């Protein structure tokens, strides 16, 4: 009798243990919430399939205060109306006064270039890797080329060359960041990502693919560019202001192109690797509150949101 009861208890315990294990596996990324005497499971699944996901804001108060997942990244017809404070700040960056009607310029923009949502394919089963490649001379001799080319997105900035430097900087380019004063021709597969620091930058983009009439901003600029117009993207002015407020904390007049690119990568990638940032020996890092931007980049690495690959010179 005692043996039979012991066996029965053991079976029940094993069943209970199995049930608990199954429940734990089923709800492995969920959180039990008690509210007014009731309970339920709220999903806390990781936002991506990478080992560490950039968009996961649970482990750092510093990151959570700065990272806004809802900020508009790129201009499209659904988000082109600027908040008054953003409009005033953005127009205040212009060196050359411009009285053009922003709404008319934007309407013309979306009649020429893709007007669609980008980077909406994030999910718990995706791991979108990005290499953000700066133009520091510390990449020379690094032999990072093959590593850079392994990433899903390879984002290059301004005129950073690849030809002749493939061993150190790679060959692949999926996105090229630029503005009129830093134009470089692209192949048909590369996205042109315009960073508009002034309304004239958007007007130049329209002109470069149509009339080719704009040849000067505050300096001489190319009248046209070789690029695929179906792969054109325009950074949202509200995103520039967001980076200035949240990440640069008002330091400098506006964020540097490299810093803007890095923060953009935090929003479109699940894993971010950084190459070619920082100064070469005896060099200077940045002209837009470079010291503060560098401290922020170091903090992002410290909390495992990015991995900065150090150069060799």
Contacts (Cβ under 8 Å, ≥6 apart) of 56: 46, 47
Q: How far is the CA of 127 from the CAs of 43, 252, 309, in angstroms?
A: 19, 34, 20
Count Cβ atoms below 10 Å from residue 8 Cβ, excluding itself: 10
The predicted-structure confidence for 33-52, as pLDDT tens digits, reads as follows: 333 333 343 345 677 888 88
Q: Check residues 298 and 30 and name the one with the higher pLDDT.
A: 298
**What is the overall mean pLDDT for the chain?**
86
Supply 312's token pair. Answer: 């060799």
Contacts (Cβ under 8 Å, ≥6 apart) of 307: 272, 273, 274, 301
Spatial separation of the C-alpha atoms in residues 169 and 133, rounded to whole Å: 8
- Which residues does the annotation mark as catalytic? 254, 288
Average pLDDT of 157-170? 95
The predicted model scores a pTM of: 0.82
Asked whether residue 63 carries a pLDDT value surpassing 80, the answer given is yes
Spatial separation of the C-alpha atoms in residues 115 and 95, rounded to whole Å: 29
pLDDT at 2 (0 to 100): 66
Angle (CA) 131-269-200 rounded to 5° is 80
The predicted-structure confidence for 175-197, as pLDDT tens digits, reads as follows: 999 999 999 999 999 999 999 99
pLDDT at 9 (0 to 100): 72
Fold adopted by 61-309: sialyltransferase cstii, chain A (3.90.1480)
User: Under DSSP, is residue 290 helix (H, G, I), strand (E, B) or coil?
Assistant: helix
Asked whether residue 236 carries a pLDDT value surpassing 70, the answer given is yes
pLDDT at 39 (0 to 100): 38
pLDDT at 73 (0 to 100): 96
Domain boundaries, the chain: 2-43, 61-309
Helical segments of the chain, H only: 2-26, 61-66, 84-91, 102-112, 145-149, 166-169, 199-209, 237-242, 257-268, 290-302
Q: How far is the CA of 253 from the CAs of 93, 193, 249, in angstroms?
A: 8, 22, 11
Identify the bridge partners of residue 235 per DSSP, sorted by sequence position. 74
Alpha-carbon dihedral angle through residues 208, 214, 216, 221, given to the nearest 10 degrees:
20
Spatial separation of the C-alpha atoms in residues 232 and 59, rounded to whole Å: 35
pLDDT at 122 (0 to 100): 67
Task: Report the range of poorest mean pLDDT among 3-7, 84-88, 152-156, 214-218.
Answer: 3-7
Radius of gyration of the chain (CA): 25
Contact 33, 41 (CB under 8 A): yes
The predicted-structure confidence for 260-292, as pLDDT tens digits, reads as follows: 999 999 999 999 999 999 754 333 344 468 899
Spatial separation of the C-alpha atoms in residues 208 and 190, rounded to whole Å: 17
pLDDT at 37 (0 to 100): 38
């Amino acid at each position: 009798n005692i043996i039979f009861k012991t066996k029965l208890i053991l079976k029940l315990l094993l069943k209970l243990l199995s049930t608990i294990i199954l429940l734990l596996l089923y709800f492995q990324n969920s959180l039990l919430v008690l509210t007014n005497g009731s309970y339920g499971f709220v999903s806390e699944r990781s936002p991506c399939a990478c080992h560490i996901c950039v968009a996961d804001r649970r482990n750092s108060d510093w990151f959570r205060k700065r990272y806004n997942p809802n900020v508009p990244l790129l201009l499209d017809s659904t988000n082109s109306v600027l908040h008054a404070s953003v409009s005033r700040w953005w127009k205040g960056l212009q060196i050359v006064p411009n009285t053009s009607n922003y709404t008319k310029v934007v309407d013309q923009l979306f009649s020429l270039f893709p007007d669609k949502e980008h980077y909406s394919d994030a999910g718990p089963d995706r791991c979108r890797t990005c290499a953000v490649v700066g133009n520091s001379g510390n990449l020379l001799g690094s032999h990072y080329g093959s590593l850079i080319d392994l990433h899903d997105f390879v984002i290059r900035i301004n005129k950073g060359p690849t030809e002749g430097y493939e061993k150190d900087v790679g060959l692949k380019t999926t996105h090229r960041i630029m503005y009129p004063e830093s134009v470089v021709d692209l192949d048909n597969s590369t996205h042109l990502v315009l960073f508009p620091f002034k309304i004239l930058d958007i007007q130049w983009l329209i002109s470069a693919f149509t009339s080719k009439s704009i040849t000067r901003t505050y300096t001489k600029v190319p009248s046209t560019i070789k690029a695929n117009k179906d792969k054109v993207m325009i950074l949202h002015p509200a995103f520039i202001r967001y980076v200035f407020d949240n990440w640069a904390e008002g330091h400098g007049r506006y964020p540097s192109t490299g810093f803007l690119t890095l923060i953009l990568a935090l929003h479109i990638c699940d894993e971010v690797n950084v190459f070619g940032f920082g100064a070469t020996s005896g060099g200077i890092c940045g002209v837009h509150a470079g010291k503060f931007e560098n401290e922020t980049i170091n903090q992002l690495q410290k909390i495992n949101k990015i991995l900065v690959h150090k150069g060799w010179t």
